[in-house]
A and B are shown apart, each in its own frame.
Chain A
């Protein structure tokens, strides 16, 4: 169901992006890129809230409207998650077959966040570089395979 997972840096450029139908990767790039508008909007809206009380999960960003434009067969929903350091996770989920519950998405994001934290803990990782960790990669793969 997760067809695309992206990690986006604070400065809004991708640290990691992977999608399942690899041939239409660029479409996912556009999809994730446009979702950043909503992410930004949501972050600025909750900017005043206390940091520790903040909900990291942003919920549904967009249901699938653009893909009337660029014909996409499935129903794709985009969910967002933002860490305290303003690193964003965006997940594109294929919801045509199974309706996912919010909690499932939430736990997927939590997993992603944990894995991302592990990547950051690697002393050889340069913050701001593309994530090339194999562990992270396999975790993402598991998230994608798990449902597909």
Chain B
């Protein structure tokens, strides 16, 4: 006996063993069809009793095991069913012969046998025979089950007769010694008459009867017999058979206690088939705890033939605890015999199954350990696999999953042991898969996303490697790629650098033949193998959807935006609504992408590998909108830090797009990594709106591009910057070429400009343009160009910086503070014109500190195509960087009264700060040539200005609460007025550049006052002729009529005034002679009186003079100091001095 049956369980002791075998050539399919039908008849109730027979069918049974049939009767083949094909009558005898040969094989033990013949028809089939059944075909054999039942009943009759025969043997009779095959030679020559021998025979026979009773369904009888046998055999130290008796006792008790069976499925079916034992168990359960029958009460030599008195009592039955003890004892007896290894092993297995039901794992593991120790003869590889598999199953049964996995793995390894000529990789792979739960490893990568990996990485990795290898040898490269990817993905943290290299290398080798995919792979046993996305190669830390560049960003037109807001909610702001909305679109980003334009998503990735990682075909996975992803390939350096990667794509339709994840190809494995499944990824939202397509505008200019970018504080993002260098006052035209480089026609364009805050004061319009000409070229089809001209005019302050003034050895204050207001002509301190400027100063104009910078942004808002219909536009900003070099400065400004009171001279000290010769011209004056660094005075005669006449819209001004602001405003307006009158131009002939100059910035209050016409207009008329500048001629002796006329333009009434006329002579040498009584006499009073003049009124007073001798006389009209003139500015009383030339009296 050498082949253990690992599937045995305790209940098998009550079964009858029937072998079903094919004879001749029977196809496996047909045989198993019939075998299945036969084995469905596994229990049969015997007609006239309550007993149930259990049948165990085997289609293969080694005859040497049969030899142990006396030892344990369930090992004895008692029935044989043969199945055969026979198609013609002439084959029949041969077939029948074979049947007999087959019968011979188990001949000694067989109770009965049957032959099932398929296919034979005709006269032979007509003969009624008990041991042969004929069926026309495998389909048409409805009575197979019935036949088997009959067959089993015949077995039962034999069994019952044997049982009764053995049981009723008289004690005095010679009882034959039953023995196992290896014992036979031990008993040769033994004294058969000794009491010891007799007892041994008795004990063994008792045990045998117990077995038969058990098989015959007489559980209680068998218990009694076993008990007696135990007693008998114990006394003679027949350990092998004592063990068998104990085991029989255990089996019977197990059958009693666990009617559902211990062997798994088979037992369960048995239970379903018959509820009787279950009821019996329930009935007798309390009895199980009762004291066992005292074996000593039985007569030692007499076997009571009738044990029926004991039937129905459970006293003989072992308690569950005792079962284990007895099993232990039995096994320890078995272990004394090396030849009984299989028996011992099977007993262990049976005990384990019982313990598994009792949930006593620790003890079960001890039994199993013992089973492992049992050394059978040299096992074949197949047997080893079977042995390990069974051990694994048993460990599983008692809940030792790790142990079970260990043995299963050993079994798997055994399948492909080098000693096997044809390694069973498929079986190995299958077994390895079964070990996965034992190593708490799931092949779904999703299970590894939750937090860090918690498992026994070393053994898991080993297992994965084995799976990879097995699947490769199995010839399923897709599977090995999948396992290897899984290994790499989930065990990355545990792989050493060298292992990482090895694994990736072999992965690349595999994928070169069979690329890894994202499809589910169905395993042979139907289990799906989920795809393994490489979310760790590279590791993505952050996903950020990028806005379009500023120039391409779509913007909603304001009016439309307002509407859309108002339709949504009547409230401008409500915290509740805002909160709700925030929840709902927590992932929606507040910018838009545009259909047809390239959009970007930035990923921050890093490479955890110790070598360069090549990621190919990396693209976006999106939903919601048709999206054309443009995959990228990247190469990450070894163990890189966070590395930004930009993935791009073009949305093809408008709508809401959601970025679900990205796809990669790493080491030839395609992965779709969904962001939802990535742990530790920061994202600021993945949903963005795509607006309909918009045109794209590209601006190029006539000016060179500038590297100089505008200050970041400017707010707008500027796509292009151009720079230009201009002299102060110069004007330049900037031609902007607008090209539609998009796919949509450009239909709408608006241009705005914004001058960035600058400290410099700017006069005049900096940028001006005419949009109409450009708009005439619209709509602009894709690829077409429109031009747009902007004129840049820089007019900064021409006044001199203070430091320059100091350099020139003067200070402006003293000049402007000079009392030019005096009605008298003052001698202005002569200035050194063209004063040589020191070398240091000459270098100054080119000094960059003098170069001022102006920056402005031209903003083009444009739209067209479907985007326009949706109310979106784009804006393109053009940065303008203007460096303004100083051209000329007015270092000093002053006024000189002109000869006429209505005019005055504006004196400008002009300083050429360029390095070139410069000419300056003003209206009505000659060109002034200035060398570099030269300063000259320039006098311009100007009419005085009547500022009051400027219209001032009071409503507008009323807005300015600040009086100071109002005053500034007014001053500016005056400056502009003056400037337009002056019209100062400069030219640099060498550079052929011209420009304007403006005095606006340097006119201070005093100068302005002088340039202003006084509100009181005084006119002196000599002989009715207005006298100003020109000398009025008169004749000596003739009275000269002198009229002083006052026009009041001030808003209030003035006067009355008293004026006195003082004549004097100017000797042109600085001496004024006032003593002219001899030369001039007044006709009438020398003092004139003027009445009060109402606003815009006129008044005049008349007098007369008489010149007594010829000469040039001047009349100084003085005001009398009185209260009425107080409070009025002195410049208001600026009367022209009257120059009268007295000629010879007319003849």
Contact = CB atoms under 8 A, between A and B. Distances in A.
Interface of A: 9, 11-14, 17, 25-26, 29-30, 33-34, 36-38, 41-42, 45, 62-63, 65-66, 68-70, 128
Contacts of A68: 372-373
Interface stretch (B53-61, B400-408, B828-836, B1133-1141): B400-408
What 6 pairs between A and B have smallest CB-CB spacing?
Answer: A37-B400, A29-B458, A65-B372, A34-B406, A37-B402, A34-B403
Most buried by A among B373, B403, B457: B403
B456 interface: yes
Nearest to A25: B458
Contacts of B462: 26, 29
A13 B372 contact: no
Contacts of B439: 33
B403 A42 contact: no
Given A37-B400, A38-B365, A68-B372, A26 B458 contact: yes
Contact of A30 (B372, B401, B406, B455): B406
B361 interface: yes
B504 to A, nearest CB: 21
Interface string B398-423: 01111100110010000000000000
B406 A66 contact: yes
B352 to A, nearest CB: 14
Binding site of A, secondary structure by majority: helix, strand, loop or mixed?
Answer: helix
Contacts of A128: 452
A14 B403 contact: no
Most buried by A among B395, B400, B462: B400
A17 B494 CA distance: 14
Given A17-B458, A33-B402, A68-B373, 19 more contacts: A11-B454, A12-B456, A13-B456, A14-B456, A29-B456, A30-B406, A34-B403, A37-B400, A37-B403, A38-B362, A38-B400, A41-B361, A45-B362, A62-B369, A63-B369, A65-B372, A66-B406, A68-B372, A69-B388
B402 A36 contact: yes
B520 interface: no
B345 to A, nearest CB: 14
B523 interface: no
Given A13-B457, A33-B456, A41 B362 contact: yes
Contacts, number: 65
A37 B401 contact: yes
B459 interface: yes
Most buried by B among A30, A63, A128: A30
A9 B452 CA distance: 14
29 contacts: A12-B440, A12-B456, A13-B454, A13-B455, A14-B456, A17-B458, A25-B458, A26-B462, A29-B458, A29-B462, A33-B402, A33-B456, A34-B400, A34-B402, A36-B402, A37-B365, A37-B395, A37-B399, A38-B362, A38-B365, A38-B400, A41-B361, A45-B362, A62-B369, A63-B369, A65-B369, A69-B388, A69-B407, A70-B410
Most buried by B among A9, A26, A69: A69
Contacts of B402: 33-34, 36-37
B396 to A, nearest CB: 11
Contacts of B457: 13-14
Interface string B799-834: 000000000000000000000000000000000000
Contacts of A13: 454-457
Contacts of B456: 12-14, 29, 33
Interface in B1105-1144: none
B372 A41 contact: no
B491 to A, nearest CB: 13
Interface residues of B, number: 26
Given A37-B400, A37-B401, A41-B399, A30 B459 contact: yes
A17 B457 CA distance: 12
Nearest to B375: A68
Nearest to A38: B365
A63 B456 CA distance: 22
B410 A14 contact: no
Nearest to B440: A12
A70 B462 CA distance: 15
Interface string B451-482: 01011111100100000000000000000000
A116 B459 CA distance: 24
A118 B912 CA distance: 86
Contacts of B365: 37-38, 41
A95 to B, nearest CB: 16
Contacts of B373: 65, 68
Contacts of B362: 38, 41-42, 45
A41 B399 CA distance: 9
A9 B453 CA distance: 13
Most buried by A among B362, B369, B401, B456: B456
Contacts of B459: 26, 29-30, 33
A45 B365 CA distance: 14
B5 to A, nearest CB: 21
A87 to B, nearest CB: 14
A40 to B, nearest CB: 8
A118 B800 CA distance: 81
Nearest to A28: B458
Contacts of A63: 369
A25 B459 CA distance: 11
Contacts of B407: 69
Contacts of A66: 372, 406
Contacts of B455: 12-13
Interface in B325-377: 361-362, 365, 369, 372-373
Contacts of A25: 458
Contacts of A42: 362
A94 B462 CA distance: 25
Contacts of B458: 14, 17, 25-26, 29
A62 B407 CA distance: 15
Nearest to A41: B361
Most buried by A among B388, B399, B410, B458: B458
Contacts of A33: 402, 406, 439, 456, 459
Nearest to B414: A69
